[in-house]
Amino acid sequence: MELSHLDEKGNARMVDVSDKDITKRIAIAGGFIYIRPDVLDAIQSGAIPKGDVLAVARVAGIQAAKRTSELVPLCHLLPVEQASVDFKFEKNGIEITAKVVTTGKTGIEMEALTVVSVAALTIYDMCKAADKSMRICGIRLLEKSGGRSGHYVRSEEKRTAKILAACVSEKKGTVKVNVGTIKLIEGYGVEGDAHAAPGKRQVSIISIESHKKLNAKGLDVKPGDFGENLTIEGFMPHELPVCTKLRIGDVELEVTQIGKECHAACAIKKQVGDCPMPREGIFAAVIKGGEVSVGQTVEVV
C-alpha cells in the first residue's frame, strides 16, 4: 500500500497539493461518549456546575476545526468556511456529529474528526467531577465529498451471528453448562452465574470456531468448556473493537474487554490443554437486560 505522507525514502512529508483543483469539500464525522444516566439528566437540566455542557462543547469543536493543522503535523492549513456540531441524547450517552465545509485543494476529513474528538473531550472535562467513568468511542468518518476520490459514504454493513449455546456455571474457573436460555441482568450479568457482578466482565462470548480449532487436533471441546456464557457462530467476536454495541432481540450489550489474563492453573486449561478465551473471547456489559436463547441472532449495532 502506497502512503502519500511518506516520500520514496520513507520519510514523513506534507503532500504536495499544488496541482490539485480547487473544489468544494465537505466532511461529516461521528462519535459517541458513554455517560451515566444521572449525569445525562444533569446535562439536560443544566445542573452541571461548570455550566452549559453542550454549548461549550459545540464552541470547542468549532474552534478545533480551525486549529487542526496545529494539532496534526502533516495536515494542510485550510480555510474553514462552515463547521457545525450536533448532539443527540441516547439512553447511555451522547452521539456527536460534526460537519465541516471548505473550498480548497485537499479534503477536510481531519477537521471533522478533530471536531468530534474535541467536542467529546470537552464534555468529559465539563462532567468529569460527576462521572470519571465516561468513555469516548466510535470516532469515524461518515461521509465526504469533493476532490479526486469523489463521494464517500461509510458502509456499516450489519454483522450477525447465531447463538449456539447459552451457558452458566456455579463456580469460577470451571466449564459452564449449556442451559439453552439465560437471563441477563442490566449492569450485572447472567442470573445464577458465578461471574455475575457489576464491572467490565459481565457476559463472556466466544465463537464456535475457537472450539473447532481444538477439536481438529483430536480434542473433544464443547460449548461452555472455555467458561463462556454465549457460544456464537457467524463472526469472530475478538475482532470487534471495545465499545461495540450488540443486540439480541430486546437485549443490549456493550463490548468492554477483548480477552483476559490467562490463569494457567484453571480447570478449563487442565481439561482441554488450552484455553483460547484470553485470545479470542470477549466480555460485555449488559446495557438492557432480558432473556436470550439458543437460536437467537446476535447483531452488531
Task: Give 189-219 pLDDT, tens digit per residue.
Answer: 999 999 899 988 999 999 999 999 888 888 8
- Residue 182: is its pLDDT beyond 90? yes
What are the residues whose beta carbons fall under 8 Å from the beta carbon of 216, sequence distance 6 or more?
none
**What are the chain's domains?**
23-153 (3.30.70.640), 159-300 (2.40.33.20)
Mean pLDDT, residues 67-96: 94
Burial of 104 (0-12, 13-18, 19+ CB in 10 A): buried
- Give me the sign of the Cα torsion angle 285, 227, 162, 138: positive
Q: How far apart, in Å, do the first and last CA atoms of the chain sit?
A: 30
User: For the packed helices 109-127 and 53-71, what is the interaxial angle rounded to 10 degrees?
Assistant: 140
Residues with a known catalytic role:
125
Q: What's the confidence (pLDDT) of residue 269?
A: 62
- Residue 228: is its pLDDT beyond 60? yes
Task: Give 101-156 pLDDT, tens digit per residue.
Answer: 999 999 899 999 999 999 999 999 999 999 998 989 889 999 999 888 889 998 76
At 1, the pLDDT band (50, 70, 90 cuts) reads very low
